[in-house]
Structure 1
């Protein structure tokens, strides 16, 4: 089978599975590079001619080009998924990437936002106009609900209920998250200004909109968060929408009100191991507090 034909079929398979447009762009780009390497450097255009040695050579080329380990690992995952699909569809007898070693990445522990930093970022925006109130509501929702950037950008008006939010996550997986009274107060004021601002205008069916009434772009949301960080003078290596998701997870675990399994469901993680990464960012002080609260002997003494 010709590799070009297989990649095209595989991409339609992924689209049918509900992968996002951004994910599909990344998949196509990476697989295009693999095919180019196999064709130009190894003289291979058909699946049956590909060997594990060819794919190992591709990884070595990526490493020698100076590509970061995290990028190589992401690429490895994409290519492995394609060859695994080839095996499942019985185009090949095995996943050729199974024996291709993936470089190990050093685990980088991010410094989460503090409560004070998040408080300042929420309150650096006012209710003076639609944009200000929208920005305040977005920052508050990111911090209080732990939504992904894509999830908050694509929220529909009908997704916002009285005390909950219906979220369409990765791969079309749906979940429900809670709206606290504190967040609800901000959303009510935002909705009032939104209705006034877009009165008699044709707008997109999204809860959060650009000034022109369109869906917020990924760059637009990222710039909004960076503006909040700048206004609030948050000096962190990284200030992004995902860091609020990180904040939500760490605060939920530190409070002791949520176990890691429940948090995993709220975050929409397919694998609990992803959620467990947030445990590494808990300070020793927080861990000792949790240990004190769960002390068996202290519990016995209260009975």
Structure 2
């Protein structure tokens, strides 16, 4: 039994025991496969059961010359997870990652868009094209509900609870949450759903998928990235943006307007409030307003 067997077992563990998504499992697996490729280049036939700390150190030194500190830290984290799995499953009694340290990273503040920039991007959508109303509905949903792009492309018609004012969202690890949706965003979804979507040749198995491509199948994440980048070029926006930028903007704008951090955490689907707290750092004027409005010594 060599690396492929252990990687396959690891993937099954991540899926069944930890309930991780396909994309997350693929990322974890890629970290281990990168180590395998490094060993192959050096004609090393060592198995994951016998690989030593010295060999791991050589790999870490090698990748440090190829990737930035953040990517290096992610790869090391992925390998630590893999070797801990081997211990859990009694394949190993120790881990070669014990003394391997990831580079220290400062907290990277997320990029956001202003309300006027979001308005300009959405206004640049050509509604005369078949996909125009779909693209507008998608961007309004990203910004109006703070969804991840993976949550957007897998959104179902059966997940729309418009009478109650909510979307049912399936997030990381297949965890579900209900997110409020405004009448304005609902209107854009209905306009797409009841007109543009009705004219598509919907393929079998995608009848319940909300956002479809021209062939009547689920949109890819890459396609959503492309749509947003093309709109940025159209309006001459110099920022590097992605679908996640709309999610960051959703959280930041809610916080700026006085929303409770705990409520934002629930809407974003963050397990830890620490993850959500990054948005506090984006708008220090908000913190000043909190003191001025609520502290007993405000006068």
C-alpha distance in 2, partners of 1:287/1:233? 32
Cross-structure match for 1:192: 194
Unaligned runs of at least 5 residues, structure 1: none
Distance change in 2, residues 1:42/1:296 (3 Å): farther
Q: 1:199-248: CA deviations, max 9, x gaps? A: x7546231011122111112210011112323343321x11100011101
Cross-structure match for 1:208: 211
Give the paired residue count: 294
Q: 1:104-153: CA deviations, max 9, x gaps? A: 23443344101111122223236545411111111111111110011101
> Structure 1 residue 167: deviation in Å?
0.7
Distance change in 2, residues 1:105/1:201 (3 Å): closer
Distance change in 2, residues 1:147/1:51 (3 Å): same
C-alpha distance in 1, partners of 2:198/2:55? 61
C-alpha distance in 1, partners of 2:86/2:272? 24
Distance change in 2, residues 1:196/1:46 (3 Å): closer
The within-5 A match list for 1:223-238 is 223-236=226-239, 238=240
Cross-structure match for 1:251: 253
> Structure 1 residue 44: deviation in Å?
5.0
> Structure 1 residue 39: deviation in Å?
5.7
The within-5 A match list for 1:45-194 is 45-64=46-65, 66-125=66-125, 127-162=127-162, 163-194=165-196
> Structure 1 residue 22: deviation in Å?
2.9
- Once superposed, what is the RMSD of the aligned Cα atoms? 2.4
Structure 1-normalised TM-score?
Answer: 0.87
C-alpha distance in 1, partners of 2:60/2:43? 13
Q: Which structure shows the higher helix fraction?
A: 1
C-alpha distance in 2, partners of 1:77/1:271? 19
* Partner SS state of residue 176, structure 1: strand
Structure 2-normalised TM-score?
Answer: 0.88
